[in-house]
Structure 1
């Protein structure tokens, strides 16, 4: 592993990736661009495939989910596949289909809450918009393109405390009426509203000169905070950014796969819609991974044998113990930032970790000289979940759930340690290059 990224290079690239990926569409495009530059060949699901050992491939679905695959030279039935999974989406505010509002001469856009967002941090932020726009071109064909306004064009102002004296004690946020972003002051209250699709068309043609946009038909547009990702702390111990959950894991998976060799088969999957249950054509509960494996291994018996010899690391952020709210954690399971990746365990299968997969992950951490921690939620509290149990139950692959400890999960600006992502990347490289095959343990004695 002589080509491992240094800590500084890893984090520098991470900040660039976070800043350039305001939506799952942009994250997927950036992942694909980096993979193609590293020699991965794009596949299209509508084409016939002829996959060859020793080659590298990628395929996307819905422009927001991606699979990257290194077809190892060793027989799949002997080695299995090393899989690392993450998700491209994050909680946010999405613009509604008929969004235009005129309230006392202020132009606003109606929004819908996507996922389990912390709403309070969205107030008083310099917001922009990005996403995918579908349009009719000059020949009457429907096409799509990505858009990113890239500048502060909206804000959600707080209500002054003078008008809500109990704001610090009793304020609740109504998602329908309290978080409507403000974009423009109109000349008069009765002024005709700007048409949002027309605004998108103008911006699309500004960003893509020569694009033959005759009419914008629809869009998937999200708001995001324009504040750039940054190192923070007296000693720069932390990374503050939007979408750390879970683009940090996508970036870790990308960089780990780029260090994988060609002998053993390795796969990275980053899917959309995890924050809303993964139930979509491009979500982890959808058929994307299973259909890829079906095409790779059409014969059922062989496919089941390969899956039995495979393992998946499901990478999604973990809750670091918050120094102001330590009682929210089990006293023996409060992961610390900058103390290593976290193995996530739940007796009710909200995480897919087993003692076997946990043992293997600890082995990879040991080989990579990486510290490791464990997280279990308080017994009297629920916990989130990941793509891990979904893929494990849908595909049948042995899985472990891990992640980097973070603060402010699902906020507009989250916080992670500067070391944990790099450590998990080192562990991912060990996993993808694990020499022993298959990934299996000795069976229990009968």
Structure 2
């Protein structure tokens, strides 16, 4: 039986705190690193020489974090057990020339990131978060976590056709938030950000800034059986993977090297130096093998025995749109994680991976559900197929079923984050 994780909704409470503290991928990485530090992990730089010493290590690169724990008896050819996830979520991101406006309104020029449900971003109180890059080359996190911006919807009195045609948004003209009154003032937004960060505006030479919903996570429902929050896709899995790795690192006689790989830029294809399509994970795993005195053959043996669980949120059956789901596969909240299957490899799960994850759920005492898409509906994808193809390792796609995926605010079962964390812990412990 796997190591027990304490649960009296404490895990979900901690997830709510993780999400509230992580309005951007960079903050999510910082939140994960903080938890790993408390579990005894230590950060290492990619530019340093690595040793084969045992214990927990992690690497941070922008909005991505890769962490691993080397047991005392690990050999160069010891396989890895990987939990993969992603830190980014669809949102509105600040353009290089951010100051715009018209007719006495000051606005922020934003670019749409990923595939958000744009209507869910209308008439919400939005904050501003991300990172700034200073002239000396250092970066600093920024989080204005209070109502600052708003994308105002047009009143129905001025758009009577909405009743017939539905809401139609122009992605350029209708998504620019307001934040002040007055004539356009070039440099105003960055001066504001500099003041919030406690630096001089002239010291800021670059930024990766984005909007976020400032409404905090909350339990919902008659018996508070749901959790409503921003960025459940996919900070829920990042948090679960971090918790699982911290627990697994304290387990004796680990037969594998447990790994957490939380990537950025999944929502726009993973083709980035911090994405699953980049070299980050492979380079770290190879360096870990070589640091323990391993050869190319040891690396090949380690990878051949490695298994990755790609943990991302999935679709719960929607009660208002049941026809959009497969008629025999209809995942429900609070009934455990889902195994995602797509024979066209939009998900990487095969029979072997399914068996490994099901066995982990059995050891953890966690129920598991199956998910496939309706044949008439296009299927999304994850980091799973990318990881499997790039590194040649067995990969299985899993996750927690949610509603309102890619909305500014999503919904899951309040028990499911803990159930996923238990299953991932059992998987990492082997």
Between 1:125-134 and 1:419-428, the stretch displaced more is 419-428
Aligned residue in 1 for 2:91 = 92
Aligned residue in 2 for 1:157 = 152
Aligned residue in 1 for 2:110 = 111
Question: Which residue of 285, 291, 297 maps to 2:289?
Answer: 297
Aligned residue in 2 for 1:405 = 401
> Residues 188-246 of structure 1: CA distance to partner in whole angstroms, max 9, x if unpaired?
x5x745522222211110xxxxx577521121100011100000001101000100000
For 2:114 and 2:420, the matched residues in 1 are separated by 26
Q: Judge conservation of contact 1:71–1:262 (CA < 8 Å) in 2.
A: no
**Within the alignment, does 1:227 sit opposite 2:227 as a pair?**
no
Q: How does 1:292-441 map to 2 (within 5 A)?
A: 292-298=284-290, 299-434=295-430
Q: Secondary structure at the match of 2:282?
A: helix
> So what's the TM-score if we normalise by structure 2?
0.95
Q: Judge conservation of contact 2:76–2:289 (CA < 8 Å) in 1.
A: no
Q: Secondary structure at the match of 2:146?
A: coil
Question: Which residue of 143, 150, 169 maps to 1:173?
Answer: 169
For 1:285 and 1:229, the matched residues in 2 are separated by 31
Q: Secondary structure at the match of 2:348?
A: coil
Q: Secondary structure at the match of 2:50?
A: coil
Between 1:165-174 and 1:327-336, the stretch displaced more is 165-174
Q: Secondary structure at the match of 1:147?
A: strand
Q: Judge conservation of contact 1:405–1:416 (CA < 8 Å) in 2.
A: yes
Q: Judge conservation of contact 1:102–1:193 (CA < 8 Å) in 2.
A: no
For 2:412 and 2:317, the matched residues in 1 are separated by 12
Q: Judge conservation of contact 1:197–1:217 (CA < 8 Å) in 2.
A: no
Between 1:193-202 and 1:241-250, the stretch displaced more is 193-202
> So what's the TM-score if we normalise by structure 1?
0.91
Q: Judge conservation of contact 2:270–2:278 (CA < 8 Å) in 1.
A: yes
How far off is 1:74 after superposition? 3.1
Q: Judge conservation of contact 1:76–1:306 (CA < 8 Å) in 2.
A: no
Unmatched 5+ stretches in structure 2: none
Aligned residue in 1 for 2:253 = 263
**Within the alignment, does 1:23 sit opposite 2:18 as a pair?**
no
Q: Secondary structure at the match of 1:334?
A: coil
Question: Which residue of 230, 239, 243 maps to 2:227?
Answer: 239
Aligned residue in 2 for 1:279 = 271
For 2:105 and 2:196, the matched residues in 1 are separated by 21
How far off is 1:20 after superposition? 0.5
> Residues 323-373 of structure 1: CA distance to partner in whole angstroms, max 9, x if unpaired?
000000010111111111000000110101010110111111111111111
Q: How does 1:113-128 map to 2 (within 5 A)?
A: 113-128=112-127
Q: Judge conservation of contact 2:314–2:402 (CA < 8 Å) in 1.
A: yes
For 2:48 and 2:281, the matched residues in 1 are separated by 17
For 2:403 and 2:350, the matched residues in 1 are separated by 26
Q: Secondary structure at the match of 1:162?
A: helix
**Within the alignment, does 1:145 sit opposite 2:145 as a pair?**
no
For 1:78 and 1:228, the matched residues in 2 are separated by 45
Change in 2 beyond 3 A, CA 1:213/1:158: closer
Runs ≥4 residues deviating over 6 A: none
How far off is 1:396 after superposition? 1.0
Q: Secondary structure at the match of 2:224?
A: coil
Aligned residue in 1 for 2:61 = 61
For 2:5 and 2:192, the matched residues in 1 are separated by 45
For 1:212 and 1:58, the matched residues in 2 are separated by 32
Q: Secondary structure at the match of 1:159?
A: coil
Q: Secondary structure at the match of 2:365?
A: coil
For 2:331 and 2:409, the matched residues in 1 are separated by 20
Unmatched 5+ stretches in structure 1: 206-210, 435-446
For 1:433 and 1:309, the matched residues in 2 are separated by 15
> Residues 117-162 of structure 1: CA distance to partner in whole angstroms, max 9, x if unpaired?
10001111011100000122xxxx2321000111101111110001
For 2:366 and 2:164, the matched residues in 1 are separated by 43
Number of residue-to-residue matches in the alignment: 420
For 1:309 and 1:195, the matched residues in 2 are separated by 54
